[in-house]
Structure 1
Amino acid sequence: MKNSRRKFIGNTALLGTALATTPSFGFHFLKKSVPADDIVGHGDFKYKVVRDWAKMSIGHNPILNCHEMQMDSKGRLLMIGDHTANNILVFDKSGKLLDAWGTGYPGGHGLTLHNEGGEDILYIVDCGYFIDKTGKAQAQAGQVFKTTVDGRLIFPLPHPQTIGVYKPDEAYRPTETAIGPNGDIYVADGYGSDYILQFNHKGEFIRKWGGQNNADKNYNLINAHGVAVDNRDKNNPVLVVTSRTENAFKFFTLSGKYIKTLNLPGAFVCRPVLDDDNIYAGVCWSETKEGKKWVKDTGFVTILDVDNKVVSNPGGEAPHYIDGKLQTMHNAQSPIFNHGHDVFVDEDKNLYVCQWNAHNTAPIKLERV
C-alpha cells in the first residue's frame, strides 16, 4: 500500500503540471504576500522583479500553465504551455507577443531547442496530463515530437511499449528532453515510470536506465522531471537528471552510468538549466519550516555555481551551509512565485520564469542588477 501511494503521489497529484486548477490532493496552503518593489536573490545574483514583462492579453491568447521557455537563433523566446488555443507563445525580449501556434499538445510540458546544421529544431513533450472540456484532470500516454521551429513535424519518438522496452503495465508520460553532443536524444519519463530513455538522432532506441526498483539505489529516480547535458567540463560532458521527490539532481555519464547525487534539501526542483558555469532551476514547491512538503505557493528559483554550491535563491531564503552541508531551503517570507517550473537565462543574465498553477499568468522576468 505504501509503494502504491508513493507511486500515485509521484505520478499524479504532485506531477499534474497540465492541471490548471489548484491541486486538491491534500496540499497545505500558505497565504501569499508580495512586496510592491521587489529585489530578489542573494550575493552576486540579485534581480529586479518585472511582473508585467509579457505584453499580451490572456483573453486573446489564453494560458493555463507556462511550462518551459527557450530562445531561438533569431533571439525570439518560445514558451510552451498546455492551452491548446496556443501551445507555443513566441515573444521578443521586450515581452511583445510575436506569434502563437500549436493546438495539438493538451499536455504541453517540455521544450528543448537544438541547432542542427544551422537550423533551429524543437523537441516538444506532451506529458499526457491535461484538463478536459469539463475542467477535470485526465491522463493519457505521453509523446515526444521533433519539429521545426514553426511546428512542422519531423518525426515523433516511438512509444517505449511499441518497441518492447516497457512492460505493458509501465506508464509513459515524458516530461523533458535533452540533446547530447552527437545528437542523441535523452527523454525523462518523469510522470510515468521514471526512466531516462536514450535514442539516436534518428529516433532509434539505444538504452534506458533509472526507474525506482534498482538493486543499486543510486540509479533510482523518483519524479525524473528534467534532464540536461552539462558541458561545463568540455572534455567530459555529463547528464544532470532531476529526482524531484528526492530534492536532488543526479549526475550520469552520457551512457547512463551513475556518477553522484547532489542533494538540494527542501527544494522540489524542476529541470536543470545550464548557463556558463551555473545551474539554474525552478523550484516548484519547497518545504516549510514546520517540515510540511508539497505546500501550495512555495516556489522560487535556485542558482548553483561551478562547484554545484547554491549561491542564490530568488524568491526564496538565502542558502545556508553548516560545515559544508546545505541546510533545508525555504521560500521567502514574502513570496514572489507560486510554483517555479522553468528558468531561461538570456545573454544579459536576465531570467524568465515560467510557472505552473500560477492563476493563468504569463512568465515573470527577473532583471539582473
Structure 2
Amino acid sequence: MNKENSRREFIKNTTLLSAGAATVPSFGFHILKKNTVNKENIVGHGDYKYKIIRDWADISTVRNPILNCHEMQMDSKGRLIMIGDHTNNNILIFDKSGKLLDYWGTAYPGGHGLTLFDEGGEDVLFLTDSGWFLDKNGKWIHHNGRVTKTTTDGKVIFDIGHPQTIGIYKAGDHFCPTETAVAPNGDIYVADGYGMDYIIQYDANGKYIRHWGGKQNEDRNYRLDNAHGVAIDYRDKENPLVVCTSRNEESFKWFTLEGKYVKTLHLPNMQVCRPVFDDQNLYAGVCWSQPKVGRTTWKDHTGFVTILEDDKVVSNPGGTKPLYVNGELQKSYQLEHKPILHGHDVCIDEDKNLYICQWNANGTPPLKLERV
C-alpha cells in the first residue's frame, strides 16, 4: 500500500470511529465536534470522496465580512489566497488550517478573478474586477472592469484597462473581465466573460496581441457564450493549450496559445466556471444546474463540483454520480440536500483536499472538502 492509500485508509477508519461515537451518550459533556461525520457530510464518487468541513475558515464576519467567495489559489508558501467582492477585504489569505494570515484590498467592488503566476521565482497575482456589484439595496451596479497585476501583499504593478483604448472595442461596449490566465512566456489571456465574451491576449507587459471568441461569432467552434473562465492546460508539456469556459453552452473549449480552435468538451446540465488543473485532472465549480423537473432562476442554489480524469467526469461532489451511456455523459444534478450551493472555484492542496469558493452562499467563507 502506497503512502497516499495509507493516508486515505487512516482517514476512512477515523471516519467510521467518529460515526460510531455518535451513539455514545454525552453524560453532560460534548464528545463530538460541530463537523461530526454523517452521511450527508460525505460527497463525491469513486476515488474522489470528501468530508465537508463547513467551519474550516476561522474568521470574524464582523471584522472580515464576505459577500461572495469567487476564486482561490495556493501560493509557493502553501498559503491560500482568496478574492471576493467585499471592499473591506477583497483579498483574504489563509493557512491550510483555516487561520486568517492577512487581508487587503478595498478598490475592487467587482472582485472576481484571481490568477497566481511564478515570475522568476516570485509569486505575482492578476486580479479581475468584473465591473458588476450589488449595492446595499440589492441593485446591480456597473462600472468599468479592470485587470490588475499585483504583488501578493497588494502592491500594484500595472493595470490593463478598457480595450476601447486600443481600438478593439467600440464606444459603449462593456468590458467586464472575469478571469485571466498566464502562458509560460508571460502572455496574459483575459476572459471578458460578463462583457463581449472575447479572450484578449496581451504580452507580459500588457501590450495587445490578438483576441478571439465572442457571443455573436458565426463559427460555433469559436463562439464563447459567457466566457467565464480561462486557464492554461499544461497536461501535455510539449503542447500547452488555452482552455476557455463557454458557460451558457455548458462547455469548455480548447485553443492553441495563438487562438486556433482545437476541441470542445460538453458537460450536460453543468454551467461550469474556471477550469482548474491538478496533475492530469480537471476540476471545476458548477455554478448552476437544472433539476430533473421544472426550472430554476439564477438566484436558486443549484451548484456542485465536477472532477474529470482524461476529460471524463469521474466524480461530482455535491451532485449525482456521473453516468455515461454509449460513451455519452448524461445530465448530472445537484443532490437534494444541497451540500454545496454554488460551485464557483476549486483550489487543490498537496494532500488533494479541495477548497470550494461559493457565489451567492449567504456570505459564507470557502468550504474545505477533505479527501477520504
Q: Percent identity among equivalent residues?
A: 65
Alpha carbons 1:251, 1:259 under 8 Å: kept: yes
Q: Does 1:140 align with 2:146?
A: no
Find 1:122's aligned residue among 121, 125, 132.
125
**What runs of 5+ residues in structure 1 fail to find an aligned partner?**
1-33
Q: 1:299 aligns with which of 289, 300, 303?
A: 303
Asked if the contact 1:123/1:144 (under 8 Å) is kept, the reply is: yes
2:172 to 158, 169, 186: 169
The farther-off stretch of 310-319 and 161-170 is 161-170
- Equivalent pair of 1:286/1:294 in contact (CA under 8 Å): no
Please state how far the C-alpha of 1:74 moved relative to its aligned partner.
Answer: 1.2
Distance (Å, rounded) in 1 between the aligned partners of 2:112 and 2:98:
21
Q: CA deviation at 1:333?
A: 2.3
Q: Distance in 1 between matches of 2:324 and 2:294?
A: 18
Cα offset for 1:133?
4.3
Question: Secondary structure of the equivalent of 1:259?
Answer: strand
Residue aligning to 2:212: 209
**d(CA) in 2 for partners of 1:216, 1:134:** 40
C-alpha displacement at 1:332, in angstroms? Answer: 1.1
Q: Does the CA-based 8 Å contact 1:128-1:142 persist in structure 2?
A: yes
Quote the offset at 1:280 in angstroms.
Answer: 0.3
Q: Is the 8 A contact 1:287 1:294 kept in 2?
A: no
1:277 counterpart = 2:248:
no
**Whole-angstrom distance in 2 between the partners of 1:342 and 1:251:** 19
> 2: CA distance between counterparts of 1:304 and 1:294?
27
| Whole-Å separation in 1 of the counterparts to 2:263 and 2:129 | 29
Say which SS state the counterpart of residue 113 (structure 1) adopts. strand
- Give yes or no for contact 1:285–1:293 (8 Å, CA) kept in 2: no
Is the Cα contact below 8 Å between 1:273 and 1:343 reproduced in 2? yes
Tell me the CA shift for residue 214 of structure 1: 2.2
Q: CA deviation at 1:159?
A: 1.5
Residue 137 of structure 2 is aligned to residue 112 of structure 1: no
Q: Distance in 2 between matches of 1:214 and 1:297?
A: 31
Superposition deviation, residue 294 in structure 1:
4.4
Shift of 1:218: 1.0
2:347 is matched with 344
Could you tell me the TM-score, scaled by structure 1's length?
Answer: 0.89
SS in 2 for 1:240: strand
Q: Say if 2:245 is the partner of 1:252.
A: no
The answer to whether structure 1 residue 327 and structure 2 residue 337 are counterparts is no
Letter in 1 for 2:125: L
1:39 aligns with 2:22: no
Q: 1:27 aligns to what?
A: none
Aligned-residue offset at 1:270: 0.4
Quote the offset at 1:152 in angstroms.
0.3
Partner of 1:31: none
Amino acid at match of 2:143: Q
1:191 counterpart residue number: 194
Q: Distance in 2 between matches of 1:114 and 1:220?
A: 27
Aligned-residue RMSD, C-alpha: 1.4
Change (3 A) 1:216 1:362: same
1:132 positional shift: 2.7
1:223 pairs with one of 222, 226, 232: 226
Q: Which amino acid aligns with 2:101?
A: L
Give 1:178's aligned residue. Answer: 181
8 A Cα contact 1:285 1:294, kept in partner: no
- Aligned to 2:248, what secondary structure does the other structure show? helix
The residue type equivalent to 2:331 in the other structure is T
Structure 1 residue 215 displacement after superposition: 2.9
Report if aligned partners of 2:271, 2:288 keep a CA contact under 8 Å in 1: yes
Cα distance change of structure 1 residues 125 and 312 upon mapping to structure 2, 3 Å threshold: same
Q: What is the aligned length?
A: 335
Shift, 1:336, TM fit: 0.6
Offset, 1:59: 1.1
Match 2:86 to one of 72, 83, 92: 83
1:287 corresponding residue in structure 2: 290
Is 1:160 the counterpart of 2:149? The answer is no
Other-structure match for 2:356: 353
SS in 1 for 2:221: helix
Correspondent of 1:242 among 211, 224, 245: 245
**How far is 1:141 from its partner?**
1.5
2:34 is the counterpart of 1:55: no
Pairwise CA distance, 1:68: 0.4
**Residue in structure 2 matching 1:264, options 241, 264, 267:** 267
**What letter is aligned with 1:261?**
T
Q: 1:241 to 1:291 in 2, by over 3 A?
A: farther
Asked which structure has the greater CA Rg, the reply is: 2
Residue 317 of structure 1 corresponds to: 320
Q: What's the CA shift for 1:158?
A: 3.0
Asked whether the 8 Å contact 2:40–2:339 carries over to 1, the reply is no
What is the CA distance between 1:134 and its match in structure 2?
4.2
Gaps of 5+ in 2: 1-36
Amino acid at match of 1:263: H
| 1:261 counterpart SS class | strand
